[in-house]
Structure 1
Amino acid sequence: MAQHGGASLLASLGAVLNLHFSLHRGGNTNNVASKRHPVLQEFETRLRDRLETLKVAGEEKSFLSIDWLLQAMSIVLATHANVEALIPESQLSLSMHRDDKWVDEYLDDSAKLLDVCNILKEGISEVEHYQMLVQFALHNLDNREISGAELKYSRARNALAECKEAIKRKDTEYRQGFPKSKLENCSSMLRTMGDKLVTPKGEEAMKGNGFLNAIYGAKVTTIFLCGLLVTALACKPKRPLTNLSVASHYKWSPALVSLQQRVKEETDKRKTKGSIALLRELDSVDASVQRLHEILDRHLTEKAFPLAREQATELKMEVEALRKHSADLGYGLQPLEVQVNELFRMLIASRLALLDIISSART
């Protein structure tokens, strides 16, 4: 489905630019759409419904959970793919000139989004490495081949200490006096892109039966939802979430504003409670790691082996809690990475097709 969407977007861009240059050469500049095209209205309705559904899902699944972020990224991909529906070749009515800004802006923004994808992939890889350390600790606790509880607990404690250090390093990156992390730079870049968004106006807004309005909607959605993923992968981000200001006349505008507000409320609440990570599953794993490390360290310091029944029960409960939280975190990381890779692929393919069409049309 995603591949079909990507291909459709390329066909759309091709139709847009081929007609753009043929109209420019022919001098036909009077046939500008006087009202919104029905397909644009359908695009806006779909985007509104997806954003409203995402808000409901956040109430049910928890905002910035793995499940919720997977749904958010699926909206980014679907929105890019649906842009193509606005460009039925027989109904295009573009009146563009060679000095139009939208092509350059599209290329510039897509280049920045490619950088965002690369940083997101690195952020996901960091969490996957953290997951490996957690699994190593659990493996040591489960390993019956290790003779002696003390050795088993010692190895597990050391692995959990590495987990704590990994989270501490991520947290330290956001403290004053340290260089900005890639995720923080990425967040700043998305914020700047959001601040520079300009709503298409007048005749420009109706070019290609509203094509630039659709591009604008896809851009807003991508900046906002990718920004949430960046925030979720960071630890204790200093800056507040990106707050995009959009014109109120779009069907999807109220849904976006409402979703932004709800996510902000939830993240502010989490920060107030002292959550080290806004990605819910990562925060749960970190809390469980802290508790289990403390228990193991206490038993190893006291050298109270074998453990009394009550102590053994406490340890077993914490191990099972960590195993569950780790499984919840782990199952969504690979699909999330696949989605980021797919967005990267779509952006690359669109850029190449766009540049090729421009080059062919101008020769």
Structure 2
Amino acid sequence: MLRFFNLQKGRSLQHSGVRWTLNFNIGMGHLSSMFNGLARSFLTRKGKNIGNGDGREAAEAMAKEAKKNDLILRSSGVVNIDGSKNFASVFSKRGEKGVNQDSFIVWEEFGCQEDMMFCGIFDGHGSWGHFVAKKVREWMPSSLLCNWQESLAQTLLDPDVDLESDKKHQTFNVWRHSYIKTCAAVDRELEQHHKIDSFQSGTTALTIVRQNIFVANVGDSRAVLATTSDDGNLVAVQLTVDFKPNLPQESERILQCKGRVFCLDDEPGVHRIWLPDQQSPGLAMSRAFGDYCIKDFGLISVPEVTHRHNRQRPICCAGNRWEEVASTETLLSISWLRKLVDVFLCCEAEFKAVLIMGRDPSQICKPPLDRLIPELLDRAVKALDICNAVSSGIDSVRQYQKFAEIAVSALEQKPMDDGQVKRARKALNSLLTAMKVDDKEKDFKGAERTWSFGRRGNTNPFHKERAARYFRSLSMIIAKNWSASKQIQAMSSNLVPPRGGEPTGLALPVYVMSSVMVFVMWALVAALPCQERSGLATHFPIPRQLTWAHSMIGLQERIGEEWKKKEKKGSVGLLEEMQRMEKLALNLIEFADGFQFPGETEKMEEVAAQVAELAEIFRKMGEGLVPLQAQIREVFHRIVRSRTEVLEVLDHAAKISQPTT
């Protein structure tokens, strides 16, 4: 478990399974301009113009000076020099495969500028991976600084560049060109290094320059941005794409270079890159430094450089567990559901990147995407309605929690008398009554439903404005005749895998995203109180030959079997905490019915243990339900934003495809 601290506000962000992280907090002071006179001073050193050699020498001299002044951090810890408005913390933990091959660096006052910080993480692999990662960590900052100075000088001295009118664009171009040159140079130097065998070893590299936020990614490490939501909670926003071999643009390049991409039988869902005629090397990423055995067959070290103008907290993560729902969590517990929703948010972000980022809009308007994309958008609208219903169901669970809290408060009294037992029995009866109410009779906050995208067919401006307010506030108003089971059925009705040659294009990612969306919504409906679930399907078809589907099918079968058992009893849901609460409530009511003061010692000890267990359950509910509800709201708004972006791309594609007159 890792914890990322913001010392200024005392908040923390937690995420399990990530092997190491880097986090820095950006101060609120004014950022100095990158285009300033200080940069010009780097062009000369001791009265000489800097060429490639002298520039590198000057950059290395700056690195030595920074080390001397404790401005560089290369081990777990923090760097926060006196007078700085930046804060950075780093943590690394060895995984289960032996040597820790992770390396990282934080360089405060990068390039001798007080408002600039360089941060990098390097995740090695192969027998020499830890040496490769350390060497790239050593070379990259100085090389980048040298190339940045050179690119900056050329930009400053170019009479055709108007810095005042196009400053942001030119700033990004300087960093982008600097990063591309740096990564190419580092990869060449690594290949020529005679003391490190990087033929079948390599490293990923994820670096951030904090003057604004410039991110360069080579590999499958990940950068996220810790932002603050409206309710004050920290929310993670993904900044980078994990470069895996099965991404369409990566797979296309690898196949064109005669490389191969497939999963091993014992690793379903883990796509790797292989040589044309050998079962080697099996890299799980499509970009990396080193690994020269596969460089001619599709592996590249070209970085993706992006820019984010934001003063929140970037977090860099290396490791391969972001996508996993931890197997140690109890199925359908609150913590399990939270991780399931987290997985969905990660999948949604990566899918959107695959679908629209850097892609010709006309591509997603061609068959079969001209059919599949609208179907996906329709599922998204239905998912929004389910988010509303599930969030309302969480409110019901919180009411059950209050009944349990009353009962615990009464039964914890010492000594326990008839009055306290009667009070507890009344609360427990109310709890069981609420949990046994038939879905059809449950009052879900009103008799009228606010559609996820405003009321349809209403042209009155006043009503449009009112609908927009409902939309922004994530209204939970649902019609009495709305059915969660029918909504799930509608989402899965036309969910069919790609046919023929479709799996090689974008059709497969669309199908995968649709399947994930349907599964997550179905699991939430099965777990939490939700309006009208009679006849909820216990499975939806997913072809078993698709390797990524094995784990989903297994979970679906387990949840489906539990639902069949509980539906006959009129259970309010499969949430693990609710089932335990129901069982304990029945036992305690039985005790209350036969209670006679002062009570038998042995029986009282047994009851005390049950009360303690019930107290632990509502404590976990108190800790987990509010964050889970916040995640559901985030899913709602994320789907809305993504749907809007896709519609804008489709609209743009339609406009450019119209014949000119």
Could you tell me the TM-score, scaled by structure 2's length? Answer: 0.42
Name the stretch that deviates more: 191-200 or 263-272. Answer: 263-272
For the pair 1:200 / 2:498, whether they are aligned, the reply is yes
Counterpart Cα distance in 1 of 2:412 and 2:644:
51
Query: Counterparts of 1:13-32 in structure 2 under 5 Å?
Result: none
Q: 2:348 aligned to 66, 80, 95, which one?
A: 80
Gapped runs of 5+ residues in structure 1?
10-32, 175-180
Q: 1:96 aligned to 365, 368, 372, which one?
A: 365
Counterpart Cα distance in 2 of 1:50 and 1:173:
42
Partner of 1:222: 517
Alignment check: 8 A CA contact 1:124 1:233 kept? yes
Counterpart Cα distance in 1 of 2:240 and 2:380:
17
Partner of 2:587: 291
Counterpart Cα distance in 1 of 2:610 and 2:482:
33
Amino acid at match of 1:45: G
1:119 deviates by 0.7
For the pair 1:154 / 2:422, whether they are aligned, the reply is yes
For the pair 1:306 / 2:598, whether they are aligned, the reply is yes
Partner of 1:66: 334
Counterpart Cα distance in 2 of 1:75 and 1:125:
23
Query: Counterparts of 1:224-243 in structure 2 under 5 Å?
Result: 224-234=519-529, 238-239=534-535, 241-243=537-539
Partner of 2:612: 320
For the pair 1:45 / 2:269, whether they are aligned, the reply is yes
Partner of 1:136: 406
More helix by share: 1
Counterpart Cα distance in 1 of 2:332 and 2:339:
10
Alignment check: 8 A CA contact 2:418 2:597 kept? yes
Q: 1:125 aligned to 378, 392, 395, which one?
A: 395
Change (3 A) 1:51 1:190: farther
Counterpart Cα distance in 2 of 1:220 and 1:316:
45
Alignment check: 8 A CA contact 1:228 1:241 kept? no
Amino acid at match of 1:250: L
Alignment check: 8 A CA contact 1:187 1:231 kept? no
Alignment check: 8 A CA contact 2:437 2:572 kept? no
Alignment check: 8 A CA contact 1:50 1:75 kept? no
1:358 deviates by 3.9
Amino acid at match of 2:599: L
Query: Counterparts of 1:330-341 in structure 2 under 5 Å?
Result: 330-341=622-633
Partner of 2:237: 4
Highest relative contact order (Cα 8 Å, sep 6+), 1 or 2? 1
Amino acid at match of 1:66: I
Partner of 1:189: 487
Change (3 A) 1:268 1:326: same
Change (3 A) 1:361 1:195: closer
Alignment check: 8 A CA contact 2:390 2:525 kept? yes
The one-character-per-residue Cα deviations of 1:71-118 (angstroms, maximum 9, x if unpaired) are 222221111111144255268882735992234223211111100110
Counterpart Cα distance in 1 of 2:527 and 2:481:
10
Gapped runs of 5+ residues in structure 2?
1-223, 225-234, 242-251, 272-319, 443-478, 656-661
Amino acid at match of 2:402: M
Counterpart Cα distance in 2 of 1:130 and 1:326:
9
Query: What SS is found at the alignment partner of 2:483?
Result: helix
Change (3 A) 1:298 1:349: same
Counterpart Cα distance in 2 of 1:36 and 1:102:
25
Counterpart Cα distance in 2 of 1:155 and 1:313:
20
Percent identity between matched residues is 27
1:129 deviates by 0.9
Alignment check: 8 A CA contact 1:8 1:81 kept? no
1:273 deviates by 10
Counterpart Cα distance in 2 of 1:354 and 1:93:
12
Alignment check: 8 A CA contact 1:123 1:183 kept? no
Counterpart Cα distance in 1 of 2:364 and 2:417:
77
Partner of 2:46: none
1:199 deviates by 2.4
Larger radius of gyration: 2
Could you tell me the TM-score, scaled by structure 1's length? Answer: 0.71
1:52 deviates by 10
Change (3 A) 1:343 1:172: closer
Query: What SS is found at the alignment partner of 1:89?
Result: coil
Alignment check: 8 A CA contact 1:276 1:283 kept? no
Amino acid at match of 1:283: Q
Change (3 A) 1:318 1:4: closer
Counterpart Cα distance in 1 of 2:321 and 2:481:
26
Query: What SS is found at the alignment partner of 1:4?
Result: strand
